[in-house]
Amino acid sequence: MPASSLETIVSLCKRRGFVFPSSSVYGGLGSTWDYGPLGVELKNNVKRAWWRSVVHERDDMEGLDAAILMNRLVWKYSGHEATFSDPMTDCRACKARPRADHVFVAQKGRDPKGLVEINAAIAAKELSCPKCGSKDLTEARPFNLMFRTSVGPVDTGDESGLVYLRPETAQGMFVNFGNVLDTMRRKLPFGIAQVGKAFRNEITPGNFTFRTREFEQMEIEYFVRPGEDEAAHEMWIAERKKWYLDLGMRADRLRVREQEKHELAHYAKRCVDLEYLFPMGWSELEGIANRTDFDLKAHSRSPENPDAVGELRYFDQEQKKHYVPYVIEPSAGADRGTLAFLCDAYEDSLVKEPPAEDTAKLRELVESFARSVARREGMDADVKQRLQAAAESIAAGLPGTLPTLIGLMDDAEASKIEVMKKVRGVGEKIAEEHTRTVLHLHPRLAPLTVAVFPLKRNEPRLVELARGIKRDLQRAGLRAVYDDTGAIGKLYRRQDEIGTPWCITVDFQSLEDKTVTLRDRDSMQQERAPLDEIGPTLLARLR
């Protein structure tokens, strides 16, 4: 079964070295995450697959790596200084700080007509705090999401050295439009692609790496003749959807959603979101917007922009005239994409029945957990109902519901109940022996491509051959590791859990006939393969 909660993924990520809470030796820093040894490989593979698809495999694209710190004027004329903000209100009673526009929409059932209408509703006591219900709310104020810092050794305090950490990579591509056009002698249509960090002081980060304050984007700015923008937009919607599907994402968990008029950013004529069905529901993976000529015009010298040094426009040889191209922007999140691929790849299942007495003991503990939840005071009613219902249905369905129990054991709220410790003690032991967790990652995304094991670690000839095979595979360009720290079955299970598509076992027959056992993660099929064919076979499967 797929991951029933994000906690299951968070727990696997921590346990197996994909993602750790950041600065944990000092108690962490809310909503910031560090990619561990396997996570960095996975995310790099996602970025590499994107780059290959949108730059290397196309003739109409160029890459770029612009600076994170840019002239402050970029953000003045892009509109971010004035508009990249959320309206916030403070609740005087409980000190919560909700987004005022969200409160307005939730309580009035429609969008507000700007800050003025929100504040009129607050003043008339028509809105209440979503946390405690009080109507004692402060006037809503815009809270700019850009992080500020200053350039130079002294902070003069007068904003003369003020710069922002970029909140999107896009502007780096707009301001380099002329450079790329001229140096690469491009004709329309052509695009620029960039991968890099972006920073937003999000009011409500959360859901693991889904929404953070520091994240990576994979963005394309695709420049076209005005009038050809709508067809190019459709082309990119299809291309980008296909990219996720080609990398194995399940079609029933990926959908295209048209943004409604009121959702559109100030620069967009149309925007389509690619959404993924995360454990917390359908959520945006990537936005594909038609930004018209807004950005290139905004950064061109004009009465509205006396600071720009020139005009970002294009001379069309065929039409013998200058104009400002339109731009289509497929903007994806590298962290969000990585999280989606992880959720999509996750599967756990019961592989053999545990002894009846073990199941009975576990059932008793899970039932005791359900009773403790029911008695618990001060717990949010929704959480209480969710935990109790989950525990009761798990208890009734054991041992078939063992994989679901793993999800419950990882649940942060469930961990607050004392008896969960006992559930975990017994449950983890049974789960380890009787369930199988697999990440069915596409081989091109998997952190490791192949793991090589000797059948016996105290047999020097097997160890030497296995290490030699691993070295040869590394030299052939494959991400290969050697492991001899457990029995073969356990080593297979460990590699399944981190998504390694293939394992090789070297045994005594290998010494005689130079063949090895090649095991496939998804089918669990084992085949005997000649040693010298393994490298080329795996490289071909990766292509």
- Residues near ligand GAP, by CB under 6 A: 168, 170, 200, 202, 211-212, 215, 217, 219, 284-287, 329, 331-333, 335-336
305 phi/psi in degrees, rounded to 5 = -135, 85
> Whose Cβ is closer to ligand GAP: residue 54's or residue 452's?
54
Smallest gap from residue 82 Cβ to ligand GAP (A): 16
Shortest separation between residue 431's beta carbon and ligand GAP, angstroms: 31
**Residue 206 or 477: which CB sits closer to ligand GAP?**
206
When computed from its CA atoms, the radius of gyration of the chain, rounded to whole angstroms, is 27
Least separation in angstroms between CB 294 and ligand GAP = 12
Least Å distance, CB 268 to ligand GAP, is 9
For residues 222 and 191, the answer to whether their CB atoms sit within 8 Å is: yes
Residue nearest to ligand GAP (CB): 333
SS3 192: strand
| Maximum Cα interatomic distance, the chain, rounded to a whole number of Å | 87
The CA distance from 352 to 12, in Å, is: 22
- The least distance separating ligand GAP from the CB of residue 289, rounded to whole angstroms, comes to 7
Q: Give the HSE-up count for residue 375: Cα atoms under 13 Å, Cβ half-sphere.
A: 9
The answer to whether the CB of 427 falls within 8 A of the CB of 408 is no
Q: How far is the CB of 166 from ligand GAP (least distance, A)?
A: 10
Query: What gap in Å lies between CA 268 and CA 288, rounded to an integer?
Result: 10
**The residue to which tokens 């028509």 are assigned:** 126
Amino acid at 262: H
Whether 163 and 150 have beta carbons less than 8 Å apart is answered as yes
Query: Which of 303, 414, 372, 306 minimizes the C-alpha distance to 5?
Result: 414
Of residues 190 and 276, the one with the C-beta less far from ligand GAP: 276
- Residue nearer to ligand GAP on the CB measure, 284 or 472: 284
Question: Closest CB to ligand GAP among 339 and 394?
Answer: 339
The distance of closest approach from Cβ of residue 308 to ligand GAP in the complex, given in angstroms and rounded to an integer, is 20
- Smaller CB separation from ligand GAP, 65 or 380: 65
User: What is residue 523's three-state secondary structure?
Assistant: coil
Write down the residue that tokens 């380099």 correspond to: 176
Cα–Cα distance for residue pair 415/257, rounded to 1 Å: 36
Question: Which residue number, 208 or 369, has a Cβ lying nearer to ligand GAP?
Answer: 208
